[in-house]
Chain A
C-alpha cells in the first residue's frame, strides 16, 4: 500500500484513465460491493458532500444507480431532470451549469443527449464532472461496470483475466456510447473486441477501430468468450436504417443456437433496458450465464468507487488498493 493522489478532476471517458487507475477503481468497487451486501449498506465516507444528478436526457436505471451510490456513501444527492430544469425554459447549458456550480456541489453527474456535453461542463466548472452518458460519445461508468462484471465472472470461473479474451459487441454500434466506451476499455485491458451489426448500424469508419469487424453473425459468435448485446432504439427503423423489426429479430437476435457457437459457458451482457426477443432471446436473458443483473448490481459499487475517488481526491492522500 502506498499513497497516491487521484490525478483527474473529472471522469469523462475511459481513455482518461491508465490501466492502473482502472484496476484501482475496480478494486475499490469490490470493497464497496461488500458494503452493499451488509445489513446496513452505508458508510460515512462522503458525509457532507453534495452530488447533483443532472439528467438532461431520460434515464431511470443510471440515475437510480448513481443516487443509490451517493447515498450509500452518505453524500447528499440532488436530482435535476430535464422536464424540471431550466433547459426547457430556454436557458443555455452554460448558464444551467454555472447556476449549479454556484450551489457548491462537489460532483455533478451529467447525462445529456449531446456528444461532448460532459466535457463542456468539465471545461467550465471547478467541481468534478462524471459523465453518465453523452450522446453517442461515451458512457464510462457503464464500461467500467461491464469490465467489473466480466472480471468477476472470469475470476470466479478460474478463466483468467482480460488478456486475449474475445469479446463480441453486437447490435447498434453506430449510435452507441456504450459500445464506444467498451471498445476502448476492453482493448486497454487486453481483450480482443469483435463487433457485429448490419452495415447501417456500423459507423462508416468502423475499420479504423482496433476491433475485428464481422459481417456474419455466426462467425462473430464463434469462440467468443463473452457476448455483449446493445439496445436497439426503435426509432432506427423509422429513420430508414432497418427494414422492419421482425427482420431484425429473425436475423440479428442472439438465440440459444447462436450462443452454442460461443465459448462454452460464455457470459451474456446487456446494458439494459432489454428488448427481449429483439436483441436477445428471453431464455438467454434469464439463463445462468446471463450477467444482466450482475451488471446492475456492479453498477452501484462501481459508481460508489468513482464518487468516492473523485469526492475525496482533495481531502487527503488515499491508500492504493
Chain B
C-alpha cells in the first residue's frame, strides 16, 4: 500500500470516448487528468500502466446492510467495507436495521469508529439513521442527534412506515437537519406474509404473491406528500412498472423525488424462482418480465436516478430452509459493477449513464464527495477489466456471506485495481 502523499501518473486507461486517458495524482487528490498527451507530468514521476482497462471514479452504494452491530455472523463493517473496496465502491451508506437499531448517536459513532479502525483509507462508511425509534414506526428517531453523529440520511428500510402522518412528520423534521428520507415503499397490509411477486409464477409455485401495486401505493403517498410539503423524498429499491410511471409523472410536476433501483430488478424476473431457490428471495420481490423492461427503460431515461445494491448478507444456514422460512435479500457489492456493465454492453445504458447511476447520481442526492476527475477532486478511482471472467464463489467473494443469485456462475468484467485518496487499496 502506497502512502497518501504518494505522487503517480496513471497512464493509458480507457475512459468513455477516450481510448487513452491519464491521471496525475498528488497528495491524495487529482492534480490533473485528461486524454494522454494533454496533461503534463513532472519528470521522473512513477507511472502506473492501465492500458486496456476502463477507468471510473469510485462508486457510491447508497443502500447496503453491513449487519454490525448485532449480526456480525452475516457481515461486519470490516468485511463489508472490504467487499465494497473489491467491488469498486469508495463509499457505502449503511441501513439502520442493526441490533441495536441505529437510532441514536452511540450506534452511529461506534459504526464510524469501526470503519475508521479497519479501513483508515476507505471505503467511507456513511451510516443511515433510523426514521423511527427501534424502526417500530411509532415515534420519530432523534434525527438531530443522528445527523450530528454522522448519519447522512434517514430511513425505516425493511419496515415500511404505515402511518402517513408519522411519515409526513419524518420528512418535515428530517429537512430541518438537511437529511434526506429514504423510503422502503411497501404497503404492509397488502399481501402481508408475501413470499414473491404476485403473478403466474407465484400461482404455479403455490406461494403468496405481493402485487407491484403494494409498492406503488406507497410511492403514490410519498410523491403526493413530497409535492404538498415541497420537500425531498428518496425512494429505495423501486422494482415495478406502476411505481416508475408514478415517479415519471411526479418528476414532470417538479416534485422533489429521487429514486433508486438495484441491478437485480433489471436482470432477473420471477420465473427464476421456479426451483424455489431461496437465494432469489428478496424484498421487494423479483417482478415480472414487463416490470424488468420498465425498469430498464426508467434507468436509461433518468426516471430512476441511481443504482444501489441493497447488499443484504445472510448466513448459509439461514437461507437453506423452506422457502417461506428464508429471510429476504442477497449480497451485491462485489457483483454489481460486472452485472450492470453487461447492460452497457447490451446497449441498455450508455457508459456515461452507467457512471452517473453509480457515482455522481448518489453523490448529488446525498451531498457526498465524488471524483469528477477535475483538479482537486479526491483521487478515488478504480480500473475495470471488461474482459476478465471470474466465478462467484468463496475464493472470489470477500463478504462473509455467499448468498448471491449468481453463486457458482461466471461473470464477465472485474474491478482490477482501486485507489482511494490516492492510496491503492488493492
Residues of A within 8 A of B (CB): 92-94, 112, 114-117, 119-120, 134-138, 177, 180, 203-206, 208-209
Contact = CB atoms under 8 A, between A and B. Distances in A.
A287 B171 CA distance: 65
Nearest to B288: A205
**What 3 A-B pairs have minimum CB-CB distances, sorted nearest first?**
A137-B206, A136-B206, A116-B276
Interface string B187-228: 000000001001110111111110100000000000000000
Interface in B300-325: 317, 320-325
A136 B322 CA distance: 13
Contact of B206 (A92, A115, A205): A115
Contacts of B202: 203, 205
A208 B275 CA distance: 19
Contacts of A206: 203
B322 A180 contact: no
Nearest to A119: B276
B205 A116 contact: yes
Interface string B76-102: 000000000000000000000000000
A178 B195 CA distance: 20
Contacts of B276: 115-116, 119-120
A255 to B, nearest CB: 29
B325 A114 contact: yes
Contacts, number: 61
Contacts of A138: 206
Nearest to B193: A239
Contacts of B206: 115, 134-138, 177, 180
A174 to B, nearest CB: 8
B198 to A, nearest CB: 5
Q: Which of B204, B205, B208, B321 has the most CB of A within 10 A?
A: B204
9 contacts: A92-B320, A93-B322, A115-B205, A115-B207, A116-B207, A134-B206, A180-B206, A205-B199, A209-B203
B200 A120 contact: no
B322 A120 contact: yes
Given A115-B276, A119-B276, A205-B198, A94 B321 contact: yes
Contacts of B209: 204
Given A114-B325, A115-B205, A205-B198, 9 more contacts: A92-B321, A112-B322, A114-B323, A115-B323, A116-B323, A135-B207, A136-B208, A137-B205, A137-B206
Contact of A136 (B207, B211, B317, B325): B207
A94 B317 CA distance: 9
Nearest to A174: B203
A204 B324 contact: no
Nearest to A177: B206
Contacts of B320: 92, 94
A204 B201 CA distance: 11
A115 B317 CA distance: 19
Interface in B306-348: 317, 320-325
B211, B323, B324: residue with the most chain A Cβ atoms closer than 10 Å: B323
A118 to B, nearest CB: 10
A177 B205 CA distance: 10
B198 A114 contact: no
A132 to B, nearest CB: 15
Contact of B317 (A92, A116, A137): A92
Contact of B203 (A92, A114, A203): A203
A47 B321 CA distance: 34
Contacts of A116: 205, 207, 276, 322-323
Contacts of B211: 204
Contacts of B208: 136
Contacts of A114: 322-325
Contact of A135 (B198, B203, B321, B324): B324
Contacts of A93: 321-322, 325
Nearest to B208: A136
